[in-house]
Amino acid sequence: MADQNGIDTMDLGKVVAVRGSVVDVEFDRQLPPVYTLLQAGTTNEILIEVQSQLDANRVRGIALTPTPGLARGATVKSTKAPLQAPVGSSVLGRMFDVFGHPIDRLPALSGVEWRSIHQLPPPLNRRSTKTELFETGIKVIDVLVPLERGGKAGLFGGAGVGKTVLLTEMIHNMVGRHQGISIFCGIGERCREGEELYRDMSEAGVLPNMAMILGQMNEPPGNRYRVGHTALTMAEYFRDDQHRDVLLLIDNIFRFIQAGMEVSGLMGQMPSRLGYQPTLGTELSRLQERIANTDTGAITSIQAVYVPADDLTDPAAVHTFSHLSASIVLSRKQASAGLYPAVDPLRSSSKMLTPGIVGERHYQLAQEIRHTLAQYEELEDIIAMLGLEQLSPEDRNVVVRARQLQRFLTQPFCTTESFSGMVGKVVSLSDALDGCERILRDEVKDYPESALYMIGRIDDATEKIAASKTSRLPS
Active site residues: 163, 189-190
The length of the chain is: 475
- Rounded Cα gap, residues 357 and 359, in angstroms: 6
State the helix-helix crossing angle for 360-386 and 393-408, rounded to 10 degrees.
120
Count CA atoms within 13 Å of residue 380 on its CB side.
9
Mapped to the 3 state alphabet, what secondary structure does 219-238 carry? CCHHHHHHHHHHHHHHHHHH
- CA Rg value for the chain: 26
Say how many C-beta atoms besides its own lie within 10 A of residue 469's C-beta: 9
State the helix-helix crossing angle for 360-386 and 429-440, rounded to 10 degrees.
50
- The vertex-442 CA angle with 438 and 445, nearest 5°, equals 110
- Rounded Cα gap, residues 428 and 267, in angstroms: 50
CA 62 to chain centre: 25
Q: Residue 30: name the closest of 50, 9, 15, 49 by CA.
A: 9
